Amino acid sequence: MRKGQIVGQVFIYALSIVIIAAILIYGYTAVSEFRERSQNVAKVKLQNDITNAVSRLSSDYGSVQRKELYMGEYHKMCFVDNYENTPTLPSSLNKIIRDNVESKTGNNVFLLKETLEQSFNAGKISVGNGMTGDEDTLCLNATANRVAVRLEGKGDHVLISAWQ
């Protein structure tokens, strides 16, 4: 082999490594962006599912619907009663949710990971947790990234409870 051929091969190997590295970096970036976009779509879909179900059932007195919601990256969903009066909040409720409700933001659905991640207003809801008590909140933990809720139309609002 001649000296010129060895230098040429080193150049080809170096160029190949640079091209492979560029392809891997581009692929990783594309997959990361795709994942982030799909999580954003899941958030919007969850919010729309809840809001649409509440608006659809609120005027339909007596109708009951089981709604299974895909939680995506969230671990817990909390509903706060906003139908009649100021809700009675339990002392065990997340402090950020408590502050949000007490400052009258109007939000009544809260999505949590370790802390509060997203909140929005789903419409007029009342909360029934199947127990007697004054508490106007319902918090449900996700099981296999899903939460099943019972929605019951009351004519001018929706009663939300856990699906049993």
Give tens-digit pLDDT for 20-47. Answer: 999 999 999 999 999 999 888 888 888 8
Domain that holds residue 131: 37-162
Mean pLDDT of the chain: 84
Of 137, 100, 106, nearest to 123 by C-alpha is 106
Within 10 angstroms of residue 119's Cβ, the number of other Cβ atoms is 20
Coil vs helix vs strand at 104: coil
Let me know if residue 64 belongs to a domain.
yes
Rounded to the nearest 5 degrees, what angle is found at the Cα of 96, between the Cα atoms of 99 and 101? 35
Let me know if residue 18 belongs to a domain.
no
Q: Quote the number of domains for the chain.
A: 1
Let me know if residue 114 belongs to a domain.
yes
Question: What pTM value is reported for the model?
Answer: 0.74
Let me know if residue 31 belongs to a domain.
no
Let me know if residue 113 belongs to a domain.
yes
pLDDT at 162: 86
Coil vs helix vs strand at 160: strand
User: CA–CA separation, 70 vs 65, rounded Å?
Assistant: 16
